[in-house]
Structure 1
């Protein structure tokens, strides 16, 4: 049975600039931390998988001293967890406010996949509460209920490690060669490829210039037909899928015809290494 696994941030909605960034900065202000991330600084932070992990990049000796933070690692971990819990509350409030729209095509393609009997899931390194809020926004409550969600700290290593995708594939009882992942970042793509999945990329606000070598398809968005028309720009199409003005389920199904590497099917997610990738074979 084929499956479609979406990343969350940047795929379901372009949430980083107008959702996560202000939520981080409001959290820093509330906790009296001497930092505010600019847009340019945050463009670098998004390359770090996971919100707590992004916060931990602050914890240089100079910052710890300037902020009056404890030097004990366990106490610092507690502080970061407190910051992250509050940041998640602020962020989910932003999402519930409805100011960030879903990305074009995600609901349309997911609905088509559900109608065709595909398995639907989200695999993200964001906190589960954050992911579920964006999923409900993007899909609506009825379709969102059809999704399995794998998020946050269910695995130790975040993207670009393949662990979250391997965990999702095993949890759903899927064969990796039957799964298309939709990602927006190089780190996410590397995670999907490392787990043996085909990967379609829809570039987002901070990722348009990243290297997506290895993706089966790279587009500006999935697109939508009129009346809310958003035309897809095809940026890379190594398999010759040739999407039309917007990506349809048949285009994503065609990515699976590339086949897969059977050796991925029995991997232990805890043992996966995001290092040298074994790409899925491509048709000649």
Structure 2
């Protein structure tokens, strides 16, 4: 099968949105509400195992039973509404960070999108995040010419089950009109990898500080980044041949290997 499309995750894959954006934005939201707790980086990495922002907040309330200070009555009265309020505040602070240029693309992302576009390979975004969260990244972190290359977006609020369920990938494939055997998923986490593999997709994982210790069994390739001149790739699983960074040809070879394996 020919490589017809690349399906990109966003958070942690296109940009370090977790470490540079979402994590500090959550703490800004908590600060604005006056609650007496903050999430440190180790706790946040643990909470990332939950498949979405609202799920993360709910799990924290249920599992950690934090002191809520002036927000105690509001949480007791309507926890769903309080969770939604925190998530709205977090999204606003996150948008501010993206708009201020604080969340650049990871190494090799712009290069690979341009190379794939020039090669006639279609591209999609497949993310647990809501459009409210995705749109600032697409508007500010991607240049207009990169954004225009993205044909399909499948976002978390559109499905009943988020990653690690395959539903988001299945939605993207349906919109593209393609089969799993024609596409490669690019992810950064074990959760995203599980979703891609459950959708029968070949997958490349580009690790980051929050995910490097996760289990990536089932990935066709695991790399330090997509890489670019001056920032070559470290390959932890798979083979990129004589390439120094991930190219459309590398992904096409990965797809071919997954079909023959």
So what's the TM-score if we normalise by structure 2?
Answer: 0.91
Q: Per the alignment, do residues 33 and 156 of structure 1 end up closer, same or farther by CA in structure 2, a change over 3 Å counting? A: farther
Structure 2: where are the runs of 5+ without partners? none
2:31 to 13, 29, 32: 29
Q: Which moved more, 1:184-193 or 1:54-63?
A: 54-63
Structure 1: where are the runs of 5+ without partners? 261-280
| Residue 74 of structure 2 corresponds to residue 69 of structure 1 | yes
Higher helix proportion:
2
The CA deviation at 1:21 is 0.7
Structure-2 residue corresponding to 1:254: 253
Q: Which consecutive aligned stretches of 4+ in structure 1 deviate over 6 angstroms post-superposition?
A: none
The CA deviation at 1:221 is 0.4
Structure-1 residue corresponding to 2:84: 81
Q: Which moved more, 1:160-169 or 1:195-204?
A: 160-169
Task: Give distance in 1, aligned partners of 2:93 and 2:113.
Answer: 28
2:46 to 20, 25, 44: 44
Task: Give distance in 1, aligned partners of 2:17 and 2:75.
Answer: 32
1:57 to 55, 59, 71: 59
Structure-1 residue corresponding to 2:233: 232
Task: Give distance in 2, aligned partners of 1:64 and 1:170.
Answer: 45
1:211 to 207, 211, 215: 215
The CA deviation at 1:12 is 0.6
Task: Give distance in 1, aligned partners of 2:68 and 2:186.
Answer: 41
Tell me if the contact between 1:179 and 1:256 (Cα under 8 Å) persists in the aligned partners.
yes
Give deviations 1:253-279, integer Å, cap 9, x for gaps: 11221355xxxxxxxxxxxxxxxxxxx
| Residue 174 of structure 2 corresponds to residue 176 of structure 1 | no
Tell me if the contact between 2:36 and 2:67 (Cα under 8 Å) persists in the aligned partners.
no
The CA deviation at 1:70 is 4.1
So what's the TM-score if we normalise by structure 1?
Answer: 0.84
The root-mean-square deviation of aligned C-alpha atoms, in Å, is 1.9
Give deviations 1:175-214, integer Å, cap 9, x for gaps: 1111111000000000111111110000012011111111
Task: Give distance in 1, aligned partners of 2:206 and 2:191.
Answer: 13
Q: How many equivalent pairs are there? A: 255
Tell me if the contact between 1:88 and 1:127 (Cα under 8 Å) persists in the aligned partners.
no
Q: Give the secondary-structure state (helix, strand or coil) at the position aligned to 2:123.
A: strand
Give deviations 1:100-147, integer Å, cap 9, x for gaps: 221011111111111121111111111213222223344311220231
Q: Per the alignment, do residues 18 and 259 of structure 1 end up closer, same or farther by CA in structure 2, a change over 3 Å counting? A: closer
Task: Give distance in 1, aligned partners of 2:113 and 2:81.
Answer: 38
Give deviations 1:48-107, integer Å, cap 9, x for gaps: 1111111111223944876233446xx321221121112111101101111222101111
Q: Which moved more, 1:149-158 or 1:55-64?
A: 55-64
Structure-1 residue corresponding to 2:134: 131
